[in-house]
Amino acid sequence: MKGALSGIRVLDLSRILAGPWATQMLADFGAEVIKIERPGSGDDTRSWGPPYLKDRDGSDTGEAAYFHSTNRGKRSLAVDITQADGQALIRALAGQCDVLIENFKVGGLAKYGLDYDALKAVNPALIYCSITGFGQTGPYRERAGYDFMIQAMGGLMSVTGEAEGMPMKTGVALADVMTGLYACNAIQAALLHRMRSGEGQQIDLALLDVQVATLANQGMNYLASGEVPGRLGNAHPNIVPYQAFATADGHIILAVGNDAQFIKFCAIAGRNELASDPRFSSNRERVRNRQHLVPLVAELMQQQGSDWWLDRLSSQGVPCGPINTLDQVFADPQVQHRQMERQLDHPEAGTVPTIANPIRFSATPIDYGRAAPMRGEHSRELLKELLDLPDESWESLRAQGVVE
């Protein structure tokens, strides 16, 4: 069965995480994705380990798990774009593609004749998505941008961590992942525009812009009030009680989202009077009197074990949950039912695990048929298939180190 983006061809000149995250999603949706890599080394994340994949004999393949987290469904073409012949190959391929995505520094591809204006002349319908740290314009445009520094500069770290502790980044490179998701959305919007108008366009996407945009309610809280939010640990700035609590034998999260749920919580805890206390009877008052309510809830939560609370709260519709480690996540019956872990065939490892796309299409289901490629695995077949490159030309380019 064909995917939703079947017939769309993507030339992927990106590496690390934000760009590859976008192109992996496009591949999941059925697009043909051609991953361009450097001969000899490939995408930087191929070596970002351990852990590395194991081959059939249990030895390290040298292929990092990190690389496989964001490159399934693609074919790899190893081309040296610093050489004129390599640049000519990319220009020819761009003429055959619908989308190009890159995350070089601003102006980094212009010296190779692979910038948007140059490739627009080759293919006016091309959608050219550029991902940088700070965008194509502005005083920081020349700076390199990395997820960690963007989380700091974009405000996320200022609202993450314990109130009296050090500002913290998230445990996942969230600015990169969110930028990849925005890029995938933007590309599909541009494809729809092209379908109506016939026009391609450039997409200018910056990690810092994405981080500021995804401050969500925290950003709007500041803009509406002028008050700079601080770190609240696991607590929520707008809802109380909504945080992690210690129980008699561990920790769980309690996420009371409205007044009715708070009444139910108080009944389960045997403290009905708290729900009628004017200080706590509405979320507005609970937020205002957070410093009085949270210690009371914390004391109540420690009177019973985690399972006791989870069973009773869940049965009454009070949002709560365990704080799972990753082994517990992938052993969870709901996660297993949704098949969030899949196995893909791989030429060296036999099979490799992958984390499924969370989107479930009824008419165009995602095909998990292709693992992340080995470096240059499809170079010869792609150049023959798309550019009708003769065998003697292939051998000549390979001897010159243009392709691998």
| Residues with catalytic roles | 176
Measured distance CA(63)–CA(288) in Å, rounded: 52
Kindly tell me the burial class for residue 340, based on how many C-beta atoms sit within 10 Å of its own C-beta (0-12, 13-18, 19 or more).
Answer: middle
DSSP string of 314-327? HHTT--EEE---HH
CB 265 within 8 A of CB 318: yes
Residue with the two structure tokens 């791989």: 346
Own/partner pairs for 385-392, CB < 8 Å, 24+ apart? Answer: 386/93, 386/96, 387/89, 387/92, 387/93, 387/96
30: left (phi over 0), alpha (psi -120 to 50) or beta: left
Element (H or E) spanning 206, and its range? strand 201-206
Q: How far apart are CA 184 and CA 33, in angstroms?
A: 13
| Kind of pairing between the strands at 242-246 and 52-54 | unpaired
Question: In this structure, are residues 372 and 74 in contact, taking their beta carbons and an 8 Å threshold?
Answer: yes
CB 292 within 8 A of CB 230: no
Total number of residues shown for the chain: 404
Dihedral angle of Cα 373, 374, 375, 380, to the nearest 10 degrees: -80
Alpha-carbon distance 85 to 184, whole Å? Answer: 30
